[in-house]
Structures are given as C-alpha cells and as structure tokens.
Structure 1
Amino acid sequence: MKSRSESLIRLRKFHVDEKRRQVAQIEMMIADFERMAGELDQQIEIEHTKTGISDVAHFAYSTFAKAALTRRDNLLASANDMKGKLEAAQDALAEALEDLKKVELLDQRETQRERDEQARVEQAGYDEVARLRFRRQ
C-alpha cells in the first residue's frame, strides 16, 4: 500500500513541477514581449527626434516608425493574450497543489492508522504477557 501512495505522491509532485514550469515560461514570455515593446518605444522616440515628425498622420512620417509602432502594438497584444494564459496556468498550478496536498494528507492518515494499529497490536501483546504473568502468581 505504501509504494502505491508514494507513487501517487511522486506523480502529483511531477504535475505540480510541470505546472510551475509552465507558469514560469509564460511569465518569461510576457516579460520578453514587454521588454521588446519598450525597446521599440525607444527606437520610435529616437526616430521622432531624428525626423522631427511625431504625428502618425503626417505625410512624411517615417515608415520605420510606422513599422515599429505596428510591431510594438503586436507585441503588447501578445503580452495581453499571454496574461490570460498565465491566469489559466496559475489556476491549474493551484489545482495541482491542492491535489498534491490531498494525496499527502491521505497518505499521512494511512500512515497514522498503520502506526495506531501496530501500537494496538503491541499493546495487546503486552497485555497478554501481563495476564499470563499475573495468572502464574
């Protein structure tokens, strides 16, 4: 019985670790998207300073700045999409942790029952020895 519960605990721990890795990976992706968007913002500002034109509707607005704006907007949209996936991954992690805790508690209760049963058997043996000794006297 013990090996089965240990296997189940190991499996649940594996699931928890996998969910943690997924959460960390999504968080890194969001950070990368936001970092790249920030770098594009800096490049756009440099381009505005170089050309002296910051109005997107202006006929001479830099095509590089337009492309950078589009890329930045796409990166920020991707980061927002990933935030939704992050919430789902965090919920899955919380659920996996909850499952692990349940299995650990069940294992702990089973272990305690086995100890109690072993103590009861030992006590019954001691009681029997005491009865036999008492009868001899």
Structure 2
Amino acid sequence: MTRSHEPLIRLARFKVEELQKQMAEIDRARTSLNDQISRLEASVPEEQAEAAKSREGFLAYGSYAQAVIKRKENIRLSLAEVEGQADSIRSRLETAFQELKKYELLEERRLARIEAAVRSAEQAELDEIAQMRAARAH
C-alpha cells in the first residue's frame, strides 16, 4: 500500500497556520498605522484652535503642521510597505492552502483505495464461503 500523507498534511497545515498568523500581524500593523493617521488628523483642529488663542501658538503651529504632514507621509510609506508584505503573504498563503488541499485529497483517495481493497477482500471471502457451502450442499 501507499504511505500515508498525514506528515505532509501536518506540515502543510502548519505552514498555512503560520502564514495566517503573519497575515494577522500584518492586519494589526495596518490597523495601527491607520489609527496613527486618524489620531494625527484629529489632532490638527485641536492644535489650530490652540494656536488661534495666542501669537506664540500661531507661530508654533506652522512647525507643528509641517511635522504632522511629514509624520503622515512616513506612516503612509510604512503602510505601503505593509501592504506589499500583505500581498506577498497572501500569495504564499494561497499556495500553501492549495498544497494542503492537494495532500488532503491524496490522503482521501489513498484511504478510499484501502477501503475498496478491504471491501473487495471481504466480498471475496464471503464468495468463497458461499461456494464452499454450495459445494457441501451438493
């Protein structure tokens, strides 16, 4: 008989699970970066209101606004990098999942062949018993 595909299935399942974990980490990073952008954008009106209260605040606001713009650019660059990583992991995950399904299908076929062989052997045994009984009856 052919060997079991269980070790390959376990390995492929492990690969899929590891890639799913990496994808979850990427999703968390993406969410964190988007939250950072949202917080920066939310802080701008607050800072504008504070800046309007005094001349010093008004003068300092320009530097603050430039820093916010630069920070958002840096976060967006990080976000683009994370998206690239997500695309790579998504592709590897799809390949790993297809590999897992292939091994599972091979194992199902192997087990079906074994089951068919067992049924065939049982039927042959029953047929032999029936022939012996028929021969004794004559």
Alpha carbons 1:47, 1:62 under 8 Å: kept: no
Equivalent residues, number? 132
Query: Is the 2:16–2:96 Cα contact (8 Å) retained in structure 1?
Result: yes
- TM-score where L is the length of structure 2: 0.86
Deviation at 1:88, TM superposition (A): 1.6
Question: Deviation of residue 2 (structure 1)?
Answer: 8.2
Counterpart of 2:127, as a letter, is: D
CA RMSD, Structure 1 to Structure 2 (Å): 2.1
Q: For 1:11-22, list aligned pairs within 5 A.
A: 11-22=11-22
Give, in whole Å, the separation in 2 of the partners of 1:46 and 1:120: 80
Letter in 2 for 1:6: E
Alpha-carbon offset, residue 10 of structure 1:
1.1
* Residue in 1 that maps onto 2:31: 31
Which position in structure 2 is the counterpart of 1:89? Answer: 89
Shift of 1:35: 0.4
1:101 paired residue number: 101
CA distance in 2, matches of 1:48, 1:66: 13
Which of structures 1 and 2 has the larger relative contact order (alpha carbons within 8 angstroms, sep 6+)? 2
Q: For 1:126 and 1:60, how far apart are their aligned partners in 2? A: 96
Aligned AA for 2:48?
Answer: H
Deviation at 1:47, TM superposition (A): 2.0
Could you tell me how far apart the structure 2 residues matched to 1:114 and 1:3 are?
Answer: 11
Deviation at 1:92, TM superposition (A): 1.3
Moved over 3 A (4+): 1-4
Aligned equivalent of 1:115: 115
Distance in 1, matches of 2:2 and 2:37, equals: 52
Identity of paired residues, percent? 31
Structure 1 residues 6-47: Cα deviation after superposition (integer angstroms, max 9, x where no partner): 221111111110111111110110110010111111222322
Normalization by structure 1: what TM-score? 0.86
Q: Secondary structure at the match of 2:42?
A: helix
Long gaps (5+) in structure 2? 53-58
- Asked if 1:75 corresponds to 2:66, the answer is no
